[in-house]
């Protein structure tokens, strides 16, 4: 039948797999961990890309494109940078029947591809800041359970790579970009995120520090790293000899950042807002914000109704609202209602004989199923307000649900209990890496271990004498912990 066979609160994994397919976002592909992004998903990616690309252009960041392929020597340039990742690297070893002299890696990220050229291009302080971005795909042959959008072997992202003369400039940009990532989640996807810093154990090993926007999926009780903005310090400058002559003629190494968000953003949005009727799209990212459906009646003036639908679409489009009409004559109105609900279109407008006679339309909200009759004369303004209300309501409800999952704890017992209740846990921590590894070891299980998610920039009061929940040592900071994707 038309509806979903799994319920979100009963079989989340199956519900999600069904929703992304029935909502026409994803088609499964014959290579495990790879998915087809259909137009309904691609249009969401494009809305975010349009926003983010315009914002980084305001920051004088330039787009470029580096090759997909990395030679083995270059990729292995610095052992500790990729040692832990080596199993994920995909290699090209043949062309046609013949073996390649040297195997060639497919980029899993582009530091080693780009930075030899940063070294070549950056000579003097006038060459700084160098700020590049590329929109591309990357390949990581992961083995943990693949999930559409959330964990795939190939995904789309943008990766920014910047170089500065001073640490201060780098530190500033790290946070400027992180704010853009917060806006993508909170203003476009209507998903609340927490800004913070990753622990020494969870950060990008090749960098100096990692900042993150952390989302949370209440149904699974898992945190999810939404996007990441690293300060690399001078680590890669040392590795790749990216030096410059400063004003005083002294030779010094550049300070670098790198930052990314990926198609994982779409999966987080689906998990947070979707329901048992299918996708629920925030209007800001919906490629169709309003679907207009004629409701035929045996002896009604159908031409008049069709014209009213077309006029409604036209006036909404002229007001900058993404509206379409579904005139397909091989489906019933009921079928169309279910279909567009499955695809998550924020508003549906029904026009039947009664509506037509009264010069009004019936508007139905996808997020809360509320119905209202709107005079055609007021339509554009009312629909604009309703779309804004849907966007805000989705964010408010998601925030309430996320906040209800946050548990403040002070002891290990409270921590273990909260973890069992699928909470995101805020705990005082001594900030020792050994203790973090110990938490992972003590929480290992088939649900996956708990890890630190981030140390929020917005730190609650930490009273003198507060002890670490895990070690009992003096706590230094409040940190979020939980299971994660």
Ligand X SMILES: O=C1CCCN[C@@H]1CCCn1cnc2cc(F)c(F)cc2c1=O
Which positions touch ligand X (CB under 6 A)?
A: 82, 85, 88-89, 108-109, 111, 140, 159, 204, 228, 230, 258-260
Q: What is the DSSP code string of 95-157? A: ETTEEEEEEEEEPSSSHHHHHHHHHHH--BGGG--EEEEEEEEEE----SPPBTTTB-SEEEE
Residue 215 sits at φ, ψ, to 5 deg, of -100, 175
By beta-carbon proximity to ligand X, the closer residue of 203 and 348 is 203
Pairing of β 35-37 and β 26-28 = antiparallel
By beta-carbon proximity to ligand X, the closer residue of 152 and 443 is 152
Query: Could you give the CA distance from residue 475 to residue 478 in angstroms, rounded to a whole number?
Result: 8
Shortest approach of ligand X to residue 260 CB, angstroms? 4
By beta-carbon proximity to ligand X, the closer residue of 228 and 443 is 228
The answer to whether 93 and 214 are in contact (CB under 8 A) is no
As given in the structure block, the two tokens for residue 112 are: 């080693």
As given in the structure block, the two tokens for residue 354 are: 């009664």
Query: Could you give the CA distance from residue 466 to residue 28 in angstroms, rounded to a whole number?
Result: 50
Q: Which residues sit opposite 136 in a β-bridge?
A: 157
Cα–Cα nearest to 227, from 205, 207, 206, 204: 204
Query: Could you give the CA distance from residue 121 to residue 112 in angstroms, rounded to a whole number?
Result: 15
Shortest approach of ligand X to residue 481 CB, angstroms? 21
Q: What is the DSSP code string of 423-437? A: -EEEEEE---HHHHH
Query: Could you give the CA distance from residue 200 to residue 223 in angstroms, rounded to a whole number?
Result: 18
By beta-carbon proximity to ligand X, the closer residue of 85 and 135 is 85
By beta-carbon proximity to ligand X, the closer residue of 114 and 308 is 114
By beta-carbon proximity to ligand X, the closer residue of 239 and 426 is 239
Shortest approach of ligand X to residue 253 CB, angstroms? 19
Q: What is the DSSP code string of 54-112? A: HHHHHTT-EE----SEEEHHHHTSSHHHHGGGGGG--EEEEETTEEEEEEEEEPSSSHH
Query: Could you give the CA distance from residue 164 to residue 31 in angstroms, rounded to a whole number?
Result: 41
Shortest approach of ligand X to residue 149 CB, angstroms? 17
Shortest approach of ligand X to residue 31 CB, angstroms? 17
Cα–Cα nearest to 33, from 139, 146, 140: 146
Shortest approach of ligand X to residue 78 CB, angstroms? 10
By beta-carbon proximity to ligand X, the closer residue of 18 and 142 is 142
Shortest approach of ligand X to residue 140 CB, angstroms? 5
Cα–Cα nearest to 62, from 115, 5, 133, 7: 133
Q: Which residues sit opposite 361 in a β-bridge?
A: 374
């Amino acid at each position: 039948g038309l509806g979903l066979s799994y319920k979100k609160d009963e079989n989340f994994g199956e519900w999600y797999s069904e929703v992304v397919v029935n909502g026409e976002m994803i088609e499964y592909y014959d290579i495990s961990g790879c998915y087809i992004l259909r137009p309904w998903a691609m249009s969401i990616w494009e809305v975010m890309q349009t926003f983010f690309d315009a914002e980084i252009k305001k920051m004088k960041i330039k787009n470029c494109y580096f090759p997909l392929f990395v030679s083995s020597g270059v990729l292995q340039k610095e052992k500790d940078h990729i040692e832990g990742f080596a199993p994920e690297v995909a290699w090209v070893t043949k062309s046609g029947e013949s073996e390649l002299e040297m195997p060639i890696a497919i980029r899993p990220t582009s530091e080693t591809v780009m930075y030899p050229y940063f070294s070549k291009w950056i000579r003097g302080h006038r060459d700084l800041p160098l700020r590049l971005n590329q929109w591309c795909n990357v390949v990581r042959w992961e083995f943990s359970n693949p999930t559409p959008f959330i964990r795939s072997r190939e995904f789309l992202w943008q990766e920014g790579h910047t170089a500065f003369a001073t640490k201060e400039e780098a530190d500033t940009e790290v946070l400027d970009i992180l704010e853009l990532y917060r806006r993508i989640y909170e203003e476009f996807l209507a998903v609340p995120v927490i800004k913070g810093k990753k622990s020494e154990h969870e950060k990008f090993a090749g960098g100096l520090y990692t900042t993150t926007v952390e989302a949370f999926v209440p149904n699974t009780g898992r945190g999810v790293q939404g996007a990441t903005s690293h300060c690399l310090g001078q680590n890669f400058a040392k590795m790749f000899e990216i030096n410059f002559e400063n004003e005083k003629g002294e030779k010094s190494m550049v300070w670098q950042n790198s930052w990314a968000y990926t198609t994982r953003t779409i999966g987080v949005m689906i998990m947070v807002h979707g329901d048992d009727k299918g996708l629920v799209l925030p209007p800001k990212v919906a490629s169709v914000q309003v679907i207009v459906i004629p409701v035929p009646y045996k002896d009604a003036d159908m031409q008049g109704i069709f014209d009213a639908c077309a006029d409604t679409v036209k006036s909404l489009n002229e007001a900058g609202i993404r509206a379409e009409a579904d005139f397909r004559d091989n489906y019933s109105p009921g079928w169309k209602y279910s279909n567009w609900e499955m695809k998550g279109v924020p508003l549906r407008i029904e026009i039947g004989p009664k509506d037509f006679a009264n010069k009004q339309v019936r508007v139905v909200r996808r997020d809360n199923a509320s119905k209202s009759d709107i005079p055609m004369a007021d339509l554009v303004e009312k629909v604009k307000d309703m779309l804004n209300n849907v966007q805000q309501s989705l964010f408010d409800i998601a925030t309430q649900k996320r906040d209800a999952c946050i548990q403040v704890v002070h002891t290990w017992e409270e921590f273990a209990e909260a973890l069992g209740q699928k909470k995101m846990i805020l705990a005082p921590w001594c900030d020792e890496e050994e203790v973090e590894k110990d938490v992972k070891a003590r929480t290992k299980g088939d649900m996956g271990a708990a890890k630190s998610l981030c140390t929020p920039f917005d730190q609650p009061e930490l009273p003198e004498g507060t002890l670490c929940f895990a070690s009992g040592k003096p706590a230094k900071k409040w940190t979020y912990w939980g299971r994660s994707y």
